[in-house]
């Protein structure tokens, strides 16, 4: 459970974990957004100093833009989010559903904070498990420089 005050409105938001099936569905639709977009960056040469190398970030920024906008406008992602959010509350008394944003118009200012918190709360167990198993998965997946760097950063 994540219980916090909104940064913009100061309203109390409680994000409760969704059921396993709902959280897994959210993970799947979000991972689908990642899978459907190509990163477009290839790592070559010595990667030990990867973070100190100059890189053209245009492809990375385009990737992030495509993934974020794609997830934001995806009906599948939206449906999965509402399924997870139905377990959550706003200002203690309101269930978080689509009607909340008409009943309490100021909640619209908290929309993305609510969405991001819901994603974090429900995906954290899956990501934590994946990162902890990276050392056993890596040899099976083969040597992938980008994944190695990403997982090293996540465990640091």
pLDDT value at position 50? 58
Look at the chain and report how many structural domains it folds into. 1
156 assigned to some structural domain:
no
d(CA 110, CA 147): 33
For residue 85, pLDDT beyond 90: yes
117 assigned to some structural domain:
yes
Contact present, 147 and 141 (Cβ < 8 Å): yes
128 assigned to some structural domain:
no
93 assigned to some structural domain:
yes
Question: pTM for the complete prediction?
Answer: 0.75
- How does residue 100 score in pLDDT terms, banded at 50, 70 and 90? very high
155 assigned to some structural domain:
no
For residue 106 the two structure tokens come to 């100021």
Long-range contacts of 109-115 (CB under 8 A, 24+ apart): 109/6, 109/8, 109/9, 110/6, 110/8, 110/9, 110/11, 110/13, 113/6, 113/7, 113/8, 113/13, 114/13, 114/15, 114/85, 114/88, 114/90, 115/81
141 assigned to some structural domain:
no
138-151 per-position pLDDT tens digit: 666 665 566 666 65
For residue 92, pLDDT beyond 80: yes
96 assigned to some structural domain:
yes
Residue 100 φ then ψ, to 5°:
-55, -40
pLDDT value at position 53? 63
Contact present, 44 and 146 (Cβ < 8 Å): no
Contact present, 37 and 67 (Cβ < 8 Å): yes
Task: Residue 34: give the domain boundaries.
Answer: 2-122
- How does residue 82 score in pLDDT terms, banded at 50, 70 and 90? very high
pLDDT value at position 132? 74
Contact present, 127 and 28 (Cβ < 8 Å): no
103-136 per-position pLDDT tens digit: 999 999 999 999 999 999 999 998 888 777 776 7
Under DSSP, is residue 7 helix (H, G, I), strand (E, B) or coil? coil
pLDDT value at position 12? 98
Side-chain half-sphere exposure of 49, counting CA atoms within 13 A = 5
26-80 per-position pLDDT tens digit: 999 999 988 887 766 665 656 566 566 666 678 778 888 888 898 999 999 999 9
pLDDT value at position 133? 76
150 assigned to some structural domain:
no
């Amino acid at each position: 459970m994540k219980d916090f005050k909104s940064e913009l409105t100061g309203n109390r938001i409680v994000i409760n974990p969704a059921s396993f099936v709902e959280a897994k569905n959210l993970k799947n639709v979000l991972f689908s957004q990642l899978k459907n977009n190509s990163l477009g960056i290839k790592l070559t040469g010595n990667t030990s100093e990867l973070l100190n190398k100059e890189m053209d970030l245009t492809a990375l920024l385009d990737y992030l833009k495509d993934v974020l906008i794609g997830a934001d406008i995806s009906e599948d992602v939206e449906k999965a989010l509402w399924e997870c959010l139905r377990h959550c509350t706003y200002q203690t008394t309101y269930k978080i559903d689509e009607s909340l944003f008409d009943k309490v118009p100021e909640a619209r200012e908290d929309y993305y904070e609510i969405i991001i918190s819901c994603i974090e709360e429900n995906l954290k167990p899956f990501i934590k498990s994946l990162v902890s198993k990276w050392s056993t998965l890596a040899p099976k997946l083969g040597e992938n420089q980008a994944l190695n760097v990403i997982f090293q950063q996540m465990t640091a």
